Structure 1
Amino acid sequence: MVVSLPEPTLSAEELDAEVAALHDQKVLRCSISRSELRAINHKIVLQCLEWYNSKHPGNEYEPAPGVVTRRSEFNESLLWTHGNFVARPKRSGCFSFLPAPRTLFFFELLDRYDVDEVITCTPLDEPVTEGYIFHGFRLGWGTRRDGRCDCVCKTCYRQFHVPHMDLKRTCACGDSKVEGLCKMCYLSCDVLHPAGGGFVFGHKKESFAYC
């Protein structure tokens, strides 16, 4: 009688190395041109706004000229992405030809087996100051605030901005129990996040597992 031996079980270190290798392969596949990157970003914006508009009938938004910012990170073989894009409210009637004020959005995507799922998409109370002409070509970088040093107080849950990472992080309430607003993006990229933890991944330790 032939007895088949069980497949060897990978250790935690080997699993981590395997996930890292998959990540490296995906990064290599993502070495694309600027035009392809713009197309991918535009697709993400359309997908996020379709999700948002379906939940807010009568208050729909459409894409507007502006930079799309993204940051991605693997967690338990799932690829999470946080980012920002610019949109404006849809207008109708005799003034529909006039462009509406632009709004900065935060979005959160979960990549399951190469299928992106929108988890969060919400407008932010942040000014959009990038300079654009009518056709959408950039005139200047503007003064959009950087989100890399956004913090939240663990006592009063107030969100605030630390102008320099070397300064002592103390909230206005006097408490020094302060942490980065997003454990995924803090000090790593300039993605701006919603206040009050309006996102899933990176807000709390227990939220890292998502089924």
Structure 2
Amino acid sequence: MRLLIVEDDEVLRDGLVVGLHLAGFTSEAVTTVAEAEAALEMGGFSGVVLDLMLPDGSGLDLLARLRAGGSTLPVLMLTARDRPHERVAGLDGGADDYLGKPFDLGELAARLRAILRRAEGRADGRIAWNGLVLDPAKMEGEIDGDAQTFSPKEFILLRALLERPGAVLAKATLEERLYGWQEGVESNTVEVHIHRLRSKLGAGFIETVRGVGYRLAPEAAKETA
């Protein structure tokens, strides 16, 4: 899942990027309403972590414009002013969840998984495909009954493929999920992590579509691999 973090406190912002990466999210971070609007116009985000008070305006105003434009993008609001009427205003204004500062990073990650799960129309926190049952909360799973754990980057790639199991995802698309705007992209990272996933899930679980990208194999392909 690729998130947009809108937070002007540098220490908190950097901590969110690092902590959420360890929880299996790729995050882009901006500091102002104007930067957030520019990033949202580019698209490609699964959700937003939005601070209430920003240097050039209110997160509530940004949220209002987002919803007025028809966006259903999941939004979790953060604020140091955690009074009931502010929570009500945020939720009635279109926020999917609300968390007051200071907060536990594990709780934030769990709340994000919940609102993103609801946006996908899933009630179960686990994701099942082709013999794999994946638990995003633990970045663990079982493949045909065998337990497996995944590194953050392995999990991010696997989660991206599971979002669109019948689609071929280009290498560049997967690189965007692995790296933030400020990170340098290593040329063979996708191939390395695909190889590691195949060693854990089976050689036929992920197909290479030559010259195009990667996709999850259908049941029949996996069985004959």
TM-score in same-fold range (> 0.5): no
| TM-score after normalising by structure 2 | 0.27
* Structure (1 or 2) with the larger CA radius of gyration: 1
The structure with the largest helix share of the pair is 2
Give the structure, 1 or 2, with the largest relative contact order (CA under 8 Å, sep 6 or more): 2
| TM-score after normalising by structure 1 | 0.28
